[in-house]
Amino acid sequence: MTVILPKPPVKISSSCREGRLFTNDECHSILPGITRDSVIEIARGLGYSVEIAAMRLNDLQTADEAFLTGTAAEVTPVREVDEVKIGNGTRGRITAEIQQVFFGAIAGRQEKYKHWLSFVS
């Protein structure tokens, strides 16, 4: 999920609660990108519902797990925000599952997502 936290703003790509993925909409401090779109597609492909809407700090702090997405970050777990532990403070099950598929996809090991790649000889 992408959340703007007061002083200073921080962007979080996604959070998970009760097996659902949440992410901010494009009007609320998010940089839409290929990685985020890819993770949303992967999550839905794994059977998770994805809710895109404005989020608040409390949504992040009460999440079971959270992660960042981005070109450099790829899919990176978030353990805590403002000294508040997210979930149990470790990478969550859904984050791990999405990471596994994402890393497989960008390495060309996920047949379902090979159309994302341009192979060069």
pLDDT at site 83:
87
CATH number of 14-116: 3.20.10.10
Which helix (H) or strand (E) element contains residue 105?
A: helix 93-106
Domain extent listing, the chain: 14-116
pLDDT along the chain (121 residues), means of 10: 39 68 77 86 93 83 88 89 90 94 96 93 85
| AA identity, residue 33 | G
Which residues are 15's β-sheet partners?
22, 66
